[in-house]
Structure 1
């Protein structure tokens, strides 16, 4: 199992998961953990307890082939929609969008900058969503966001070929810390990929081919009841017909891994929009939130996005 993934490099690793949590996530026993560490799974020992990086554990579970690890079960639940008819992804959908911003080790009142939802860019709308007032430590953002889907497939044969070349390149999707994803050259040098890293590289290739393209961040919604922060990224590119299209390269790749019955959804990811994604104003390698207090620690952004009926 340990030979099937690339471990998170030390400069991006954050070993916070105890051995007990690792056993629970991977559905294994202490002897299995010993075998994994002997095979190279990085860890830190604190007070006699081994701690692991959550991305390493997630990736081990995802590619274990056991079928019962937490990551495998979560993946199947996350993508169960992808094998269904895409009509439901094209209708108007409204979300209760709430974000908590926390600035660690901050005790100074200062302005906040938050990359708010920008659903209007693709025909949706945002109601409410007042910018956070200057404060110390924490702030909140709340809005009602409506998204819509539309089938607008790529018409450029060159854009389609570049996208297909990427999908056929053999990069393996892995859970990767956001800061490392921005270092997309490192990610791909390891033979891995992720939504932000893939979007940054594909946008670069689109621009090299003469197209206006940018990786943009947002949120993937309606997951596990909604109370889960799932930052997302895709490529926005101006197609030959002059329309702005989105290429959701990572979701196409993950859907293909799940089942051959996801072909309609994979095609939707190549130019079209669907209602489970809320775009933001943030570029692909930018943070969602900043606090101008001078703290060197990044702002923690936790989203709670729930479908409204």
Structure 2
């Protein structure tokens, strides 16, 4: 049975499992061909999504145009195990099933941040090429963060870098626990809401991420929304905390957000979404790992590269505005080979 045949009805079955982007933040610019590639389905199956009620607009030349974030949620919730979102999450969380020591040991990475200029995957190459396309700027690694060491590349003197960059970094994790009851209370409020499905974990458009309280009230959250909300609650409790944002590194990089809280002078990481995903296990296509979920409350992992942000701001900009989610297609990372 081919993926195209298997996906025919399951794509439609995903429509009632997530909440589509509010009309005031949706961007209907992804055509059927691009959508089919991401969902590993035939174009006519994607067209059926429009007929079944997935919000879209119709362009006289390009046909139905969808919101890319809506399509990512179709892929995440369809359950075929073959879509790009499902395969990506499965790969990127595979390290949760590895031995605990592997989460923290120093690890060297080669990263390339050259955001895609189009939903079809055209990368942003040398800005000197002068192709007249949109101006791309990206956030650089936070070399002041604990456990981050630059091995090659840079300099990264400014928080925003033109076009893209290539670098090698060493990431060293750390195993920590948290004792402050205020942290535990705020943590439980956020993680329990996700686990109980009072708030649906799904892809959230960048404009809605920027209004994280609205997203939470709408009953949707991703890593950015959850981390910003957690940071707000910890700050209100009198704790020094920051919502962080960077890349989860693997064969490709994935935009990710988490919290940093200071306890007893030590910076400790709080990752509510990783904890949730590791708790629900196979439902999301990854192995259940209670030990990893527990480590998400305080520990720092060697696959998370923080970038220079103040409150989990976007990592990529087009002409000064936050880039769409599909820009992350142009972010790549792999373990660095020994010379």
Q: TM-score range by the shorter chain?
A: 0.7 to 0.9
CA contact 1:95–1:307 (8 Å) conserved in 2? yes
- CA spacing shift, 1:287–1:73, aligned 2, 3 Å: closer
- The aligned counterpart of 2:276 is 253
Give the Cα separation in 2 of the matches to 1:255 and 1:192. 18
Residue of structure 2 in register with 1:2 after alignment: 15
Instruction: Find out whether 1:95 has 2:109 as its counterpart.
Output: yes
Cα distance in 1, alignment partners of residues 76 and 164 from structure 2: 33
Matched, 1:130 2:155: yes
Conserved in 2, the CA contact under 8 Å of 1:95 and 1:144? yes
Please give the root-mean-square deviation of Cα atoms over the aligned residues, in Å: 3.2
Distance 1:290 1:27 in 2: 28
TM-superposition CA deviations, 1:122-167 (whole Å, max 9, x none): 133113411489xxx9544333211001101212122122211211
Equivalent-residue separation in structure 2 for 1:143 and 1:167 (angstroms): 34
Residues 26 and 61 in structure 1, CA contact (< 8 A), matched pair in contact too: yes
Q: How does 1:118-157 map to 2 (within 5 A)?
A: 118-127=142-151, 128-131=153-156, 139-157=163-181
Deviations 1:148-192 (A, max 9, x none): 011012121221222112111132211123332121012112211
Tell me how far apart the structure 2 counterparts of residues 91 and 192 of structure 1 sit (CA, whole Å): 34
| Residue 75 of structure 1: how far off its partner (Å) | 2.5
Alignment of 1:158-173 (within 5 A): 158-169=182-193, 170=197, 171-173=199-201
> Aligned partners of 2:148, 2:38: CA distance in 1, in Å?
37
2:138 touches 2:164 (CA, 8 Å); kept in 1?
no
- CA distance in 2 between counterparts of 1:125 and 1:209 reads 32
Query: 1:206-260, CA deviations, whole angstroms, 9 ceiling, x for partnerless residues?
Result: 01111111111111111xx23x4x2221111112x23111101112122222247
Superposition map of 1:53-202 within 5 A = 53-100=67-114, 115-127=139-151, 128-131=153-156, 139-169=163-193, 170=197, 171-202=199-230
Q: 1:158 to 1:221 in 2, by over 3 A?
A: same
Greater shift in the superposed pair: 21-30 or 186-195: 21-30
Correspondence for 1:274: 301
- Contact 1:218-1:280 at 8 Å conserved across structures: yes
Call closer, same or farther: CA 1:33–1:139 in 2, change over 3 Å.
Answer: closer
Conservation of the 8 A alpha-carbon contact between 2:138 and 2:162: no
Instruction: Write the distance in 2 (CA, Å) between the matches of 1:305 and 1:29.
Output: 29
Deviation of 1:274 (Å): 0.7
**Contact 1:233-1:284 at 8 Å conserved across structures:** no
Change (3 A) 1:200 1:80: same
Separation (CA, whole Å) in 2 of partners of 1:162 and 1:113: 34
Where do 1:195-274 residues align within 5 Å? 195-222=223-250, 225-226=251-252, 228=253, 230-239=254-263, 241-259=264-282, 261-274=288-301
Secondary structure of 1:219's counterpart equals strand
TM-score of the superposed pair, with normalisation by structure 1: 0.82
Residue range with higher mean Cα deviation, 43-52 or 14-23: 14-23
Query: How far did 1:25 drift?
Result: 4.2
Runs (5+) with no aligned partner, structure 2 = 1-13, 116-123
